[in-house]
Amino acid sequence: MLTIEEIIKMLKSTPEQAAFDWKVDFVEPTDDEKRGEIIKDISAIANASPLSYGFLFYGVDPRRTDPLIGISTHYDDAKLQQLVAGKIDPPVEFLYYEVSAGPKVLAVIQVAPSRHRPHIISVDLGKIRRGQIVIRRGSSTDGATLRDLFEFFYGRTSGYFPAVIQQLQAHALQQFADVAYMRELREQENRILHDMEMVLGLPPGSSGAKW
C-alpha cells in the first residue's frame, strides 16, 4: 500500500501511462455501466502490468498546482472484490484502499503484476462484453492486438511460455516415437517377405522384399 507521500511523488514525477491511471473522483458503482467501467479499468491495467504494480488513482488531477482533490464517495475493498469476482478470467489480484491527505481522501486500486495475461472480461455488463480483452496503452484503454496476444503467450513476460515449450517438446517426442514405430513395422514386414521368399524359393525381391 502506498503512503500519501509516495502518491504525491508519483503524481508529480510520473506521467499518466500504461501502469498509472488518474481519475478526478471515485464514482460509486451503483449501476451496470459504472460497474462495467471499473471492471474494464482493472482488467486493462492487469493486461498492461506484467512486471510491476499498476495503479488507478481517484481524487487527483496532476494538471493542477495542488493535484489532490479528494473523492466524494467512500468504498471498501470487500465490496469491490465481490463486484469484480467471476467477471475477469483469469482473476486479477488487486487491492482497494483509501489514503488520507489532511481533510481529503484519495482512493487507490493497486493491481498486482500478472504473467498470466490476457485477462478476459467474462460478462456482459454496461458497455463491456464477454470475451473482450482490453489493455492500458499509454494514457488510454484500447483493445488487444495480435501483437499483444503474441506477447501474452510467447513474450519474455509470459507465464504460459514454459508450458507452451513443454507441449511442443512433448509433441515432437511423440512424432519421433511415431516415426520410429512405423520404421520398425516396415522392417518387420520386410523380414517376413524376405523369409517367405527364401522358404518358397522365390526369386529375391519378387514379393517385395528388399535384399
Residues 203 and 155 in one domain: no
Residues 95 and 175 in one domain: no
**Domain harbouring 95, CATH code:** 3.30.950.30
pLDDT, residue 118, reads 95
Distant-in-sequence contacts of 163-172, Cβ < 8 A, 24+ apart: none
pLDDT, residue 42, reads 97
Q: Which residues pair with 137 in a beta bridge?
A: 140
Residues (pLDDT < 70) of the chain are 15-18, 162-174, 176-181, 185, 192-193, 197, 209
- Rounded to two decimals, the pTM is 0.75
Distance in angstroms (rounded) separating the CA atoms of residues 23 and 25: 6
Residues 130 and 62 in one domain: yes
Distances (CA, A) of 114 to 4, 58, 111: 25, 22, 9
Distance in angstroms (rounded) separating the CA atoms of residues 101 and 21: 19
Residues 124 and 150 in one domain: yes
Residues 38 and 127 in one domain: yes
Residues 70 and 134 in one domain: yes
Residues 27 and 90 in one domain: yes
Last residue of some domain: 141, 159, 177? 159
Residues 93 and 195 in one domain: no
| pLDDT per residue as tens digits for the range 130-144 | 999 999 988 889 999
- Residue 33 structural domain: 4-159
- Our count of domains for the chain comes to 2
Residues 155 and 184 in one domain: no
Residues 112 and 184 in one domain: no
Amino acid present at 18: A
Residue with cell 455501466: 33
pLDDT, residue 191, reads 73
